[in-house]
Chains A and B, each alone.
Chain A
Amino acid sequence: MTSTREMFSRARIPYGTWGSSFFPAWQTSALAEVNIGQFAGEAMNRILSLRKVPTTSLDYLILGSTIPWHWKFWTAPMIASCVDHRIPGFHLEQACATGLQAVIVAASEVHSNANDVVGVLTFDRTSDSPVGVFPERRAHERTMALADVWDNLGFDPATGNAMLSCAGFAARKHKTDRREVDELTMYRYEQYFNAKDSGLLDNVLVPLEVLNVQGKPLGMIDSDKGVRKLTYDMLQVMPELDDCVTGGTQTHASDGMATLLVTTKEKAQELSSRPEIDISFVGKTEMRTYPSLMQESPAMAVQKLLKKTGLTMDDMTVVKNHNPFAVNDVIFSKLLNYDWHKINNTGCPLVWGHPQGPTLTRVIIEALEEAVALGGGYVLIFGCAAGDVGIAAILKVTDGAK
């Protein structure tokens, strides 16, 4: 393992204090009926309870979400009230990079000694997203109405292109093969179902019951509803929406939340059920590629990060990414010369969905669980985000008992 510098040397992620809801596909669960901010706050409280972490140990809260929710103006203090602990905090968003960016910002809060225990809470509800009305007198429409999820995914104002078109552009540029994309997709599904069967995801995903206004059960959020077992034949016959992009080789919209804590080394040992596990930050970077080539940007961000840290892909124990399109992984494999079979061992957003804000947080949590199960090592997390941006970070897991 190559020796490298530490980023945010004061900050640690306490093992096992995290959790995520399942991510049911949009419009399929009780999450379509709730204020997702309130749900996320209450769910975080429940998850921390299951992890034996008193909410009173938190002193700051960083929210990450991309779709407006009711009373968003009141930002983290309001959600902290739903966690049942009145602390300050703020809200950030960076499209699908939100789930990683929020963790990095939390680490900077701890490292700068501004706060000692920072909760990261990311969430989004793609179901029934709000419609924004923008009075803009210079536009020919005079007033524009924007459906927050679909109108955004379908139109990058800087390029005029949809996300899906970007995938097609990138596939063409990198000459990806439809057959390889389908094979990769099949493999990703196998990875997900194998991880589920192994029980590893039980440490990540928390079943939660949603109540209606009368306090009666409205529904259980206890599966990534909408994920079905695909066959290669099914994938092959799906029509292409753009080059190498079919209904099967892209993700789907979903709802959910995910949470973890960032704190000091000492406090991490106090809060964690396994104090011998140390999780530190090594580095993070972002890249923006040429217009409408978003799917190649994560690979470029990883290249930049490896250069900065002096690490190589061979140093990585776990590699995991946010891959809304299967072509992301094929392109990454080509550019980094890295076997895509070694990525996303426990599942990925291509399979379990795309609720935007919490997506990369769940990726991080799954990756850290996998790294701990493997005895520690470097963990590479990366993904793409709106604006042709790629984000990447490396964490280091050390098992003191080994």
Chain B
Amino acid sequence: MKTLRQPTLDTFGLGNVLDIFKNGKLPVNADSLVDTIFGDSSNRGAIVISGANGIVGAGKTMQLGSRLQKYNIPIIALDFPGAPDGIGMQYQGLKGSFGQKQADEIMANVIRFNYDGKKLPSQLKDFNPRFLLEAIPEILDIKKNHYKVFRETFPGIAIRSVTSGFPSSELGVGIAHPAFPHQINKMWETVEDTPSDITKLLWAVGLIPVPVSDHWSFVLDVLFCGLMSAGLRYRQASNMPYWKIDKLIRKLLGPNPFRAHDAIGAKGANFLTWSCLYHLSETYGNLFKPTFDLEYRKESGQNWYPLNHFRPVVNWTLSDDELDEMNKWILGPMIQMTSLMLHENRGHLSHINAICEICAQFRSGILATIRQLGTEKSIKLVEEYHKLDPQSASSCWYPEVFEKINDPEWQQLYVNAEHDGSVGLITINRESYNKDVDIELNCAINWLKSENIERVILSGDFHFSTQLVGADTSDFYPALEDADKGYDISLNWSTTARRLHDEFKVSVGFLNGKRCLGGMLELMMHCHYLIATNDCQVGMPEVTLPVIPGMEGCHWSFRKAKKEDWSKISDLLFTGQAVKASGAVGWLIDFAGTEEDAIKMAWKTASGDNHGLTKR
């Protein structure tokens, strides 16, 4: 078995993706993991979420409650008697997502207990707690005492902290640090000595565990709090109001750090950001030192955006020089912080990059951004930032980490390839197709060709890409002003897609997850065969934007279908409505089945085994 770079599943003990196809099944399944962790159905233990009415606790009570519902695992929500009803506030959202009936069933399985922070409720024993997810305030002594109480009462209980900043070595428990918004964000940064069943269970129920190293503040918080810190420092240097910095950072990188704090709840978020930056500055120096306004607002909980009646009146229109200086203030520290994380080997490079995009809302992950800038320009940006903010020059700057920028780990952030000498696999771990994916996909195809692989499966990565939503529309912005740029995108991406058809003897597009839409479906349909799980939604929603499918979806799909099925394809194109893959067999999809059946069929088809499918 050869891989272009390490598959991300391998970082928590699930091996490579090609073995999933070869073995005809997923490496672990939720049923057996639930039995292992919580006991079998006759003696099922409970999960306890402490601090359950908080923003994190309530969100995770809903997320885990809904995903573990069918296993009858009691969800014990533990909090102080006077805590506001954070769980009750989740109910409307739950109803919106699942309908009233299922929402009621999920809530019925949430058992609420109050406790005083010292002694656990005596009835808790009746539920046989097997796993504690701690989501209490970021105060080290209180957390440690909390674990002690639980361990004394329930020896052997597995504990994970949702902490944003404290390392596992300080807390004495493993970390499962989730990302906002907690009800729906699937990603969890995990810290543990060896991959545990709990981490694997998170993956098996459709969540995204991401192992990171055990350092102060995890990858997400270095990025999220770090970006906030960069904005605050720029504010000190420029007087620019927070709202305007927020908008310019959004334009530059994608996230709204100040709006995000207000949306999460400034009182809690300001404190968490301060806490992370404070502890980082204690370890790493002035690069992370909290600014005075964050110090103040961690106490006051004041929002960063002005109140409604004080919506800004005066705009800040920046000159090119001012914009250039702002870029240094924002990108400089972000690149420097990234050098620290790489120096400390905080995670798989694809993980760091994906956390940036999925959790911190960067349009393009920080590593992809640095890669785009190039080593020389990135280093120069940091050096110029140091001239503006000399206090940051004294600590944790490791420019040498960028020397490896041409290695596959840097170059294949979104697309990986594996092969066993005969069948190759290309995995895409980004939900939307963009220029980076396109370049990396070409590299992966080139690598497989160089390894003389003629049979290939194209698939999501069974980790980050829980769905494939289509093209990244931010890549279209240049085309809004220059039609030639739109033509170039369409031509280049279509050329890549055709390679799947023209350069392999057999290519199989494998669709699982929630949906495969737009550009991703167009890419997949260039494969000789399309194999999908039954419930995967397929469609081309371009008309709703409105744009036209530009990767040949308007004709390639017709070319492969019988004339009598053209009206179905027209429906997809003209209405933008998606259909289940099981309903598209014969005219768009070649096979749809359960996940295991689809995996097996994909392997049979790619490996040349007797699959019984007719090439369309």
A residues lining the B interface (CB < 8 Å): 34-35, 38-39, 42-43, 45-46, 48-49, 53-56, 81-82, 84, 208-211, 213, 215, 217
Query: Are the CB atoms of B314 and A39 closer together than 8 Å?
Result: yes
Option from B240, B292, B310, B317 in Cβ contact (under 8 Å) with A209: B317
Option from A38, A39, A49, A208 in Cβ contact (under 8 Å) with B240: A49
A46 to B317, alpha carbons, bound, how many Å? Answer: 10
Query: Are the CB atoms of A211 and B313 closer together than 8 Å?
Result: yes
Interface residues of B: mostly helix, strand, loop or mixed?
A: loop
Residue contacts A-B, CB under 8 angstroms, 26 given:
A38-B310, A42-B241, A42-B312, A42-B313, A42-B314, A45-B239, A45-B241, A45-B314, A48-B239, A49-B238, A49-B240, A54-B236, A54-B237, A55-B239, A56-B292, A81-B310, A84-B242, A208-B315, A210-B313, A210-B315, A211-B311, A211-B313, A211-B314, A211-B315, A213-B311, A217-B315
B318-361 interface code vs A (CB 8 A; 1 in, 0 out): 00000000000000000000000000000000000000000000
Residue of B nearest to A71 (CB): B309
Question: Does any Cβ of A come within 8 Å of B316's Cβ?
Answer: yes
Interface size class of B (residues with CB under 8 A): 10 to 19
Option from B237, B241, B313, B315 in Cβ contact (under 8 Å) with A34: B313
Query: Are the CB atoms of B314 and A54 closer together than 8 Å?
Result: no
Hey, which chain B residues are within 8 Å of A38, CB to CB?
310, 313
Within the complex, the shortest CB–CB distance from B52 to chain A, in Å, comes to: 36
Hey, which chain A residues are within 8 Å of B311, CB to CB?
211, 213, 215
Hey, which chain B residues are within 8 Å of A56, CB to CB?
236, 292
Option from B236, B238, B292, B314 in Cβ contact (under 8 Å) with A208: B314
Question: Can you list the 5 inter-chain pairs with the closest CB atoms, starting with the nearest?
Answer: A42-B314, A209-B315, A49-B239, A39-B313, A55-B239
Residue of B nearest to A209 (CB): B315
Residue of B nearest to A33 (CB): B313
Q: Which of B388-405 contact A (CB under 8 A)?
A: none
A38 to B312, alpha carbons, bound, how many Å? Answer: 8
Residue of B nearest to A56 (CB): B236
A54 to B235, alpha carbons, bound, how many Å? Answer: 9
B residues lining the A interface (CB < 8 Å): 236-242, 292, 310-317
Residue of A nearest to B237 (CB): A54
Hey, which chain B residues are within 8 Å of A39, CB to CB?
313-314
Query: Are the CB atoms of A46 and B310 closer together than 8 Å?
Result: no
A84 to B243, alpha carbons, bound, how many Å? Answer: 11
Hey, which chain A residues are within 8 Å of B239, CB to CB?
45-46, 48-49, 53-55, 84
A53 to B313, alpha carbons, bound, how many Å? Answer: 21
Query: Are the CB atoms of A82 and B310 closer together than 8 Å?
Result: yes
Query: Are the CB atoms of A209 and B236 closer together than 8 Å?
Result: no
Residue of A nearest to B319 (CB): A50
Within the complex, the shortest CB–CB distance from A353 to chain B, in Å, comes to: 20
A39 to B316, alpha carbons, bound, how many Å? Answer: 12
A134 to B314, alpha carbons, bound, how many Å? Answer: 34
Hey, which chain A residues are within 8 Å of B315, CB to CB?
208-211, 217
Residue of B nearest to A78 (CB): B310
Most chain A C-beta atoms within 10 Å of own C-beta, residue among B241, B311, B314, B317: B314
A386 to B311, alpha carbons, bound, how many Å? Answer: 35
Option from B236, B237, B316 in Cβ contact (under 8 Å) with A46: B316
Hey, which chain B residues are within 8 Å of A55, CB to CB?
239
A101 to B440, alpha carbons, bound, how many Å? Answer: 67
A217 to B242, alpha carbons, bound, how many Å? Answer: 18
A213 to B317, alpha carbons, bound, how many Å? Answer: 17
Query: Are the CB atoms of A46 and B312 closer together than 8 Å?
Result: no
A42 to B313, alpha carbons, bound, how many Å? Answer: 7
A55 to B312, alpha carbons, bound, how many Å? Answer: 17
Query: Are the CB atoms of B314 and A209 closer together than 8 Å?
Result: yes
Query: Are the CB atoms of B241 and A84 closer together than 8 Å?
Result: yes
Hey, which chain B residues are within 8 Å of A217, CB to CB?
315
Query: Are the CB atoms of B313 and A35 closer together than 8 Å?
Result: yes
A378 to B607, alpha carbons, bound, how many Å? Answer: 93
Within the complex, the shortest CB–CB distance from A33 to chain B, in Å, comes to: 9
Hey, which chain B residues are within 8 Å of A48, CB to CB?
239
Hey, which chain B residues are within 8 Å of A54, CB to CB?
236-237, 239
